[in-house]
Amino acid sequence: MKIVLMGAPGCGKGTQSPYIQERYGLCHLSTGDMLRDAVARKTANGKLAKDAMDAGRLVSDDIVFGIVKDSIKSPECRYGYILDGYPRTLQQAKMMEDAGEKIDKVIDFNVPDEVILKRTSGRWIHKPSGRTYHEVFRPPRTPGKDDVTGEDLYQRPDDRREVCERRLDIYKKETRPLADYFTKGGVYSMINANQTVDEVRKTIAALLDPIGIATGLK
């Protein structure tokens, strides 16, 4: 079984991936983890990726796809895989198709923009301890201050709302063609991910169980 998970940062893919992985015996592959692993192991593609990053360049689609191909050939992926955050662009999806990688199901985690922004922005950190807070979900007792020491909290630039808004806009522009592409292939399903964890799991199981039974994994 070969699954692709789509969704903006903060949509809940990371929460559901372990459930899918365990239920169907699949390996979980995220672009960031694959890239870091390839660089650490000094594979041919990992070295190319490191050279690009060290030079301040984006890692090309060809290099990233090479890393993905290496990863899905590993013994851990013999029963299939979950691709989390890949493909990100139409070009990457076409590269997979050209290589003969047939995706069984694409699940797009749909969450309203305002909910995404609440989840991804508003995080504050106490640098010395690493304690994290959130303006909505885990606010400090005193705004801007650490609960334990009373010291100032710090907000990373990436956690500011305006940055999260730009990141969300970029994601939507990049992935809109992907949804059309996978819809034409008959494998795309958008789910309401703005529900409880258990409700989202039930929705996922309803989509994947028939595929799992067909492939002998369920």
The one catalytic residue in 2, 105, 119, 167 is 167
Q: pLDDT-derived band of residue 58, with 50, 70 and 90 as boundaries?
A: confident
Task: Establish whether 13 is a catalytic residue.
Answer: yes
Number of domains in the chain: 1
**Domain annotation covers residue 70:** yes
User: Which has the closest alpha carbon to 118: 137, 131, 132, 133?
Assistant: 137
DSSP one-letter string for 8-60: -TTSSHHHHHHHHHHHHT-EEEEHHHHHHHHHHHT-HHHHHHHHHHHTTPPPP
From residue 60, alpha-carbon distances to 9, 16, 189, 213 in Å are 21, 29, 28, 37
**Domain annotation covers residue 166:** no
Task: Establish whether 42 is a catalytic residue.
Answer: no
| Residue 168 or 57, more confident | 168
Q: Report pLDDT digits (tens) over 145-170.
A: 999 999 999 998 888 899 999 989 98
What is the DSSP-derived secondary structure letter of residue 76? G
The one catalytic residue in 105, 118, 119, 123 is 123
Of 93-97, 173-177, 205-209, the least confident? 173-177
The one catalytic residue in 13, 105, 118, 119 is 13
pLDDT of amino acid 14: 87
Task: Establish whether 156 is a catalytic residue.
Answer: yes
The one catalytic residue in 88, 131, 160, 218 is 88
Answer yes or no: are the C-beta atoms of 11 and 111 closer than 8 Å: yes
**Domain annotation covers residue 20:** yes
123-126 and 131-134 beta bridge pairing: antiparallel
Amino acid identity of residue 16, one-letter, is Q
CATH code of the domain covering residue 92: 3.40.50.300
| Kind and range of the H or E run holding 120 | helix 113-120
Q: Report pLDDT digits (tens) over 92-128.
A: 999 999 999 999 999 999 999 999 999 889 889 999 9
Q: What is the CA radius of gyration of the chain?
A: 19
Q: pLDDT-derived band of residue 204, with 50, 70 and 90 as boundaries?
A: very high
Q: In whole numbers, what is the pLDDT of the chain averaged over residues?
A: 92
Task: Establish whether 36 is a catalytic residue.
Answer: no
Q: Assess whether pLDDT exceeds 70 at residue 218.
A: no
Task: Establish whether 123 is a catalytic residue.
Answer: yes
User: Which has the closest alpha carbon to 204: 77, 113, 80, 106?
Assistant: 106
The structure tokens listed for 154 are 């710090």
pLDDT of amino acid 214: 61
Containing structural domain, residue 75:
2-111+188-215
User: Which has the closest alpha carbon to 82: 187, 200, 2, 193?
Assistant: 2
**Domain annotation covers residue 66:** yes
Answer yes or no: are the C-beta atoms of 164 and 120 closer than 8 Å: yes
**Domain annotation covers residue 50:** yes
Q: Report pLDDT digits (tens) over 62-100.
A: 999 999 999 998 899 999 999 998 998 899 999 999 999
**Domain annotation covers residue 99:** yes
pLDDT of amino acid 217: 62
Distance CA 214, CA 212 (A): 5
**Domain annotation covers residue 171:** no
The one catalytic residue in 41, 78, 156, 161 is 156
**Domain annotation covers residue 170:** no
Q: pLDDT-derived band of residue 216, with 50, 70 and 90 as boundaries?
A: low
- CB count within 10 Å of CB 133 equals 21
Distance CA 206, CA 147 (A): 43
